Amino acid sequence: MDILQILLTDTFWEAALRIATPLIFGVLGALVCERAGVLNLGIEGIFVAGAMAGWLAVWLGAGLWGGIVVAMLTGGFFGLIHAILTVPLGLSQHVSGLGVTMLATSASYFTYRTALPNVSSPPRIEPFRPLDIPLLSDIPFLGPVLFQQTAMTWLALFLVALVWWVFNRTPLGVALRAVGDNPDAVDAQGLSVYGLRISAVVAGSMLMALGGAFLTMSAFDAFFFGMVNGRGWISIALVIFASWRPGKALLGALLFGAFDAFQVRLQTEVGAFIPPQIFLMAPYVLSIIALVVVARRADYPRALLKPWFKGQR
Amino acid sequence: MIRIEPRSSVPPVLKYGVPVLSALIALALAAIPLLLAGADLVEAYGKMFTGVFGSMFSFTEMLTRATPLIFTGLAAALAFRAKLWNIGAEGQLYLGALAAAAIGTGLIDAPGFVLVPLILIAGAAAGAAGMAAPAYLKTRFGADEVVTTLLLNFIILIFLQMMLEGPLKDPMGMGWPQSAPILDQGMLPQLLPRMRVHWGLILALVAAVIAQIMLGRSVWGFRLRAVGENAAAALHAGIGVRRTIMSAAIVSGALAGLAGVSEVAGLKGYLTADLSPGFGYTGIVVAMLAGLSPLGVVAAALFIASVFVGADSMSRAIGVSSYLADLVVSMSLISVLIGGFIARYKIGFGTPAKGGA
Amino acid sequence: MANELVLSLRSLSKRFGDVVANDAVSIDLYRGEVLSLLGENGAGKTTLMNMLFGHYMPDSGSVEVADSDGTLRPLQLGHPQAALEAGIGMVHQHFTLAENLTAIDNILLGSESLWSLRRNRGAARRKVQGIIERSGLAAPLDELVGNLTVGERQRVEILKALYRDARILVLDEPTAVLTPQEADALFDNIGAMTRDGLSVIFISHKLREVLAFSDRIAVLRHGRKVGEIATAEADERIIARMMVGADTEATARAAMQAGDPVLELENIAVKGKSARDSLHRVSLTVRAHEIVGIAGVSGNGQTALARLVSGLTRPDGGEMRVDGRRVTKFDPQTLLKAGIGRIPEDRHHDGVVGAMSVAENMVIERLDADDVQKHGFLRKAAIRAHAQELAAAYDVRGPGVDAEARLLSGGNMQKLILARVFECAPRLILANQPTRGLDLGAANEVGRRLLEARARGAGVLLISEDLDEVLALADRIVVIHDGRLIAADTTDREAIGLMMAGEHA
């Protein structure tokens, strides 16, 4: 089969969108935090925590949407830790974020092992099913690409629009953009810098947790150690690539999903000649390349990484 | 109304007390997950303690575990001093281990006094290259080294698996993805009979002393500190900032590479893809607990290694997951961060002035 | 002027650590007046206003503000929101604008409920337009603030306060970034607003402006209010004495014959990201025994010029010679070795490494010298002894040479830099805003040292936004505007002011 013909199949684009979904959540989450001036390297651990907590809740009988809520609350909890350490205390966002990743990851693994001490193969839940809407799903090409997806993919697409709308059309969004550019401006106008930043980090972390939950509740049906596999870090690279804009974030995640889906298919075509690991490396190499290409002209939020203390200017 | 004011200088009591206290608090906080897991606290802590200090063997096991942590802790501490966020010590460790396996498993059949230094140099060079690349991308293109080093960790680990299933695969390994054993004369000798602790520990301690001297007393260390504390002023004063960052990257990567060499050629004897249970990441915690001081790294590594070895032993005895150790380690990082804040600021509870409505 | 009290500060005090920033300061403000708050740098003016505006919490004291009916009510301190609601607006020296928002978004920021789902811009915009018409403060409302000029940004700042119905406006050093003509326009606008009943507190350290534009003057010194006087009864001499506590003596400057060129720029072009870091084919000569003053409003290429001479930027065209030798390699170390000493614009950012010791900062520019290192290792004892000598010679006071440099006061930090620069007997001294933020004593010391270097045979390139400083020290004045240099053959303030605004004949 001609390699380029892959790009025209509906199954390819269906896979691309599916692979992109957790990244859409991750990039949006990172975007919300960073637009308000806080780098959240807790993302990788929050993915793990969201994946584990959401799955565990469903496994304990909470129902799928109950699991979503639990995942978001868990993400919000770890986000709050990061927010307190970096916003009012003004500690290093790098180190605090890594600390949160370590904490969230180890707490998730410990909880999983403690809740399920004696399982040899990971227990399974009934995950989200493709929506499969009659008629719509039968539209050629678009039908399978869009309507073979689960509710969580639709949620991700909806959140892209929501985040765009909040940032561009509401006073809250204006204030969030301002606090990531010049916190003094926000303070001088009588708004709370701490309040805005803490809320942004907590909300962003909830979005990140959804990315993790997608893995255990939609893409797969079980929790594995190491299943997040750097998706959080890739999101951090993609948000720079997306210049902190929701629309471009969607585009970046989709491009990434497309490349990943393409390499998987390429692997089946030419896999006999090339070690499979070359393909496995591709997403990470791609992220680094994307980062290097945009790094020089990246328009970082001006106050990113800079702690702000009340009454010290 | 809480008032926070920076201190003009941090008193020594706080400087040394805060990390110790943070470590103890993290250890105490482990009671929460232990209780949630239904364990008897006295028994659990008791098993953790005897797991480290209960016998000569268990104590040397702790030293064995501390060895790679000293190396990765130094790697993080030196890089962080230059404000170079090397989060890639895990990958650099594997590069060092790969180089050791590539050279030490029969490629060169030389006597030990030649082969051992060769392995060490190759491992250090491989680790250095692993950090030089992201540092170059940072100084040349402005690519954030946090993200690149994190992503490189994944790339290197996949590359390692490729090597272990390809060129480095042990033909006698019965299909397991592992390297052939390091030649006997290429191994770092053991320090004590029947104990696993090896010369890697001595190397790590020497590295810590050298790092301490270089950082505080050499011109190189001066430049590195100046760049880390205020790169703009350093540049203005004629210090080559890019060169300094590159040199810090190379030294940091080399130290992480030596961690890998020491694990392969000191402890395991062959290379597998699960050589490191996250020594690279844990090294960051070690460095932070040490307040980025090289000699402090030694103390912090001994503490963290005790937590791991103690928790393993406790886990075997009473069945609580050994992920408890990772929990304690991450909590000690967060405690020391908060502790550092308390040490640097005076925090008082002031009363609002009269006239406040 | 109506005698209606609108604001009363009662005995406000504030300490930072061991430093007393304000000691029981009381000030009254009446409706429709312009009150100047005058004092040297570090006299406590900004701290006082930050307490009024809720940025700092006073240690003691209280504030009362008139509400819209004219009744005095206590102000809740420590809350910017409370100050805003009480009708107090502040225009900071460093603008508090978000550059990634439009001017109108900055004006409306915080005035709408964060939880409203959409923005009602029509009514708000009409209100802003109305204020612009009454006050004359024109600004492009839909442009990103990042693209506005400094003058426009300042007008947006004032509009922000007026939009919130400010009845009391605090202006912190508003003319520091303006040309004399822009400053005049600003005072015209303020005049229009005070006739409408606005009361203004105008913070400044420039005697001339204070005398020209205010109704009443309050003087602060070392955190205390030392006097208050109606402008009509004041003259420069009286208030200068109140400000400094003694008569000031002007720095004496002996005439001197200029020698050979030490720095020559020939058709130098620097292409920066924006106008503020570009130079357009400039030529300039600084000779031995000569101080050349570069006057201009900030953001007209001073940064590019300073970075070029420091070796931080390489030119895109043209030639630079030091002591007659062409510079081919532009990096700080090469130019240091060629004999250029630099006093950077921002001491904290570029001048010292705050977390390293005073002694270490004294040698940071010559790490490879034999008295600093041996075989790559620092000669710690020698460095320390040398630092103590220098600290004594240049009167660097503070907690000692082993203490972190960040603990030094601004004046002492500048003396550290002077010691470091002058010790190397440079051929050329680049002094970029060398007295910014210093009190009068320290500023005079800097001037004296620069004149000393000139007498010794060095050339000095003095870049300053303070025209008075340039007039006092320079043998020759060159105006910088929009990346171009224009020689000023006059010492007439008005003529130079016009050149600074780009309106030369």
User: Where is average pLDDT lowest: A117-121, B314-318, C224-228, C473-477?
Assistant: A117-121
Choose, out of C25, C352, C353, the residue to mutate when testing the contact with B (most B CBs < 10 Å). Answer: C353
The alpha carbon of residue A306 is apart from the nearest alpha carbon of chain C, in Å, by 15
Predicted local distance difference test score (pLDDT) of residue A145: 77
* Model confidence at C34: pLDDT above 70: yes
Task: Identify whether A25 is part of a domain.
Answer: yes
- Give the nearest partner residue to A291 out of B87, B147, B341, using CB atoms: B147
| Contact assignment for A171 to C108 by CB distance below 8 Å | yes
| Residue range B214-251, pLDDT digits in tens | 999 999 999 999 999 999 999 999 999 999 999 999 99
Task: Identify whether C456 is part of a domain.
Answer: yes
End-of-domain residue from the set C244, C272, C290: C244
| Contact assignment for B229 to C356 by CB distance below 8 Å | yes
Predicted local distance difference test score (pLDDT) of residue B249: 98
Contact predicate B216/B55, CB 8 Å? no
Predicted local distance difference test score (pLDDT) of residue C496: 86
Comparing C-alpha atoms, which of C241, C97, C71, C194 is closest to residue C155? Answer: C97
pLDDT averaged over every residue in chain B: 92
| Residue range A200-231, pLDDT digits in tens | 999 999 999 999 999 999 999 999 999 999 99
| Contact assignment for B323 to A91 by CB distance below 8 Å | no
- C403 and C437: one domain? no
Choose, out of A77, A92, A98, A260, the residue to mutate when testing the contact with B (most B CBs < 10 Å). Answer: A98
Predicted local distance difference test score (pLDDT) of residue C54: 84
Residue B293, CA distances (Å) to A299, C1, C447, C501 in order = 35, 66, 42, 53
Where residue C65 falls (left for φ over 0; alpha for ψ -120 to 50; beta otherwise) is beta
| Contact assignment for C116 to A171 by CB distance below 8 Å | yes
| Contact assignment for C377 to B218 by CB distance below 8 Å | yes
- Report residue C109's pLDDT band, with 50, 70 and 90 as the boundaries: very high
- C149 and C76: one domain? yes
Pairing between β-strand C373-374 and β-strand C377-378 as defined by DSSP bridges: antiparallel
| Contact assignment for A110 to B324 by CB distance below 8 Å | yes
Predicted local distance difference test score (pLDDT) of residue C247: 52
Predicted local distance difference test score (pLDDT) of residue C505: 46
| Contact assignment for B334 to A85 by CB distance below 8 Å | yes
* Model confidence at A188: pLDDT above 90: no
Residue at C9: amino acid letter: L
Task: Identify whether C329 is part of a domain.
Answer: yes
Task: Identify whether A122 is part of a domain.
Answer: no
Q: What is the mean pLDDT of residues C289-299?
A: 90
Task: Identify whether A63 is part of a domain.
Answer: yes
* Model confidence at A76: pLDDT above 60: yes
Share above pLDDT 90 across residues of chain C, in percent, rounded to a whole number: 55
Choose, out of B9, B10, B80, B219, the residue to mutate when testing the contact with C (most C CBs < 10 Å). Answer: B219
Predicted local distance difference test score (pLDDT) of residue B349: 57
Task: Identify whether A133 is part of a domain.
Answer: no
Distance, CA of C464 to CA of B338 (rounded, Å) = 43
The CATH number of the domain holding residue C36 is: 3.40.50.300
* Model confidence at A2: pLDDT above 70: no
Share above pLDDT 70 across residues of chain C, in percent, rounded to a whole number: 97
Binding-site residues on chain A for chain B (CB distance < 8 A) = 41, 81, 85, 89-92, 94-96, 98-100, 102-103, 105-107, 109-110, 113-114, 117, 229-230, 233-234, 236-237, 240, 275, 277-278, 280-281, 284-285, 287-288, 291-292, 295-296, 298, 309
* Model confidence at B343: pLDDT above 50: yes
Chain B hits for C350, CB-CB cut-off 8 Å, are 232-233, 236
Most confidently predicted of A11-25, B118-132, C215-229, C339-353: B118-132
Report the 3 state secondary structure along B43-72.
Answer: HHHHHHHHHHHCCHHHHHHHHHHHHHHHHH
Share above pLDDT 70 across residues of chain A, in percent, rounded to a whole number: 97
- C236 and C131: one domain? yes
Q: H-type helices in chain A, by residue range?
A: 10-35, 43-59, 64-86, 93-115, 142-147, 151-169, 171-181, 183-188, 193-214, 231-241, 246-270, 276-295
Distance, CA of C384 to CA of A34 (rounded, Å) = 44
| Contact assignment for B158 to A92 by CB distance below 8 Å | no
Residue owning tokens 């490729």:
B162
Pairing between β-strand C459-464 and β-strand C428-432 as defined by DSSP bridges: parallel
Distance, CA of C405 to CA of C419 (rounded, Å) = 14
Task: Identify whether A310 is part of a domain.
Answer: no
Count of domains forming chain C: 3
Residue owning tokens 């550092």:
B340
Q: What is the mean pLDDT of residues A257-281?
A: 82
Q: What is the mean pLDDT of residues B79-100?
A: 97
Write out the two tokens for C366. 């010559």
Chain C hits for A189, CB-CB cut-off 8 Å, are 80, 84, 96, 109-111, 160
Chain C hits for A174, CB-CB cut-off 8 Å, are 101, 105, 108-109, 119
Predicted local distance difference test score (pLDDT) of residue B353: 36
The alpha carbon of residue C181 is apart from the nearest alpha carbon of chain A, in Å, by 27
Burial of B175 (0-12, 13-18, 19+ CB in 10 A): exposed
Task: Identify whether A313 is part of a domain.
Answer: no
The alpha carbon of residue B349 is apart from the nearest alpha carbon of chain C, in Å, by 12
Pairing between β-strand C5-16 and β-strand C60-66 as defined by DSSP bridges: antiparallel
Burial of C400 (0-12, 13-18, 19+ CB in 10 A): middle
- C204 and C341: one domain? no
Chains with 3 or more CB pairs closer than 8 angstroms to A?
B, C
Share above pLDDT 90 across residues of chain A, in percent, rounded to a whole number: 71
pLDDT top residue among C246 and C269: C269
Number of cross-chain residue pairs from A and C with Cβ atoms under 8 Å apart:
87
- Give the nearest partner residue to C96 out of A170, A185, A310, using CB atoms: A185
| Contact assignment for B338 to A85 by CB distance below 8 Å | yes
Task: Identify whether C419 is part of a domain.
Answer: no
Q: What is the mean pLDDT of residues A253-270?
A: 85
| Contact assignment for B356 to C74 by CB distance below 8 Å | yes
- Report residue C273's pLDDT band, with 50, 70 and 90 as the boundaries: confident
pLDDT averaged over every residue in chain C: 89
| Close Cβ partners of B94 (under 8 Å, ≥ 6 residues apart) | B156, B157, B160, B260, B275, B276
pLDDT top residue among C27 and A131: C27
Residue owning tokens 């993400």:
A75
Predicted local distance difference test score (pLDDT) of residue B357: 29
Task: Identify whether A141 is part of a domain.
Answer: no
Write out the two tokens for B291. 């307040």
- C383 and C434: one domain? no
Count of domains forming chain A: 1
Task: Identify whether A142 is part of a domain.
Answer: no
- Exposure string for A229-248, b = 16+ CB within 10 A, e = fewer: bbbbbbbbbbbbbbebbbeb
- C266 and C371: one domain? no
ipTM confidence: 0.92
Containing structural domain, residue C400: 353-407
Comparing C-alpha atoms, which of C404, A93, C356 is closest to residue B215? Answer: C356
| Residue range C310-362, pLDDT digits in tens | 999 999 999 999 999 999 999 999 999 999 999 999 999 999 999 999 999 99
Q: What is the mean pLDDT of residues C18-32?
A: 88
- C483 and C361: one domain? no
Burial of B347 (0-12, 13-18, 19+ CB in 10 A): exposed
Containing structural domain, residue A176: 3-116+170-295
Q: What is the mean pLDDT of residues C244-263?
A: 75
Q: What is the mean pLDDT of residues C266-277?
A: 84
Predicted local distance difference test score (pLDDT) of residue B3: 59
Predicted local distance difference test score (pLDDT) of residue B356: 31
* Model confidence at A166: pLDDT above 90: yes
Write out the two tokens for C340. 């250029």
* Model confidence at A248: pLDDT above 60: yes
Comparing C-alpha atoms, which of B278, B266, B273, B272 is closest to residue B119? Answer: B266
Distance, CA of C497 to CA of C295 (rounded, Å) = 9
- Give the nearest partner residue to C378 out of B9, B218, B356, using CB atoms: B218
The model carries a pTM of: 0.91
pLDDT top residue among B274 and B16: B274
- Give the nearest partner residue to C98 out of A169, A171, A185, using CB atoms: A185
Write out the two tokens for C11. 């005995």
Q: What is the mean pLDDT of residues B24-48?
A: 93
Contact predicate C386/C439, CB 8 Å? no
- Report residue A22's pLDDT band, with 50, 70 and 90 as the boundaries: very high
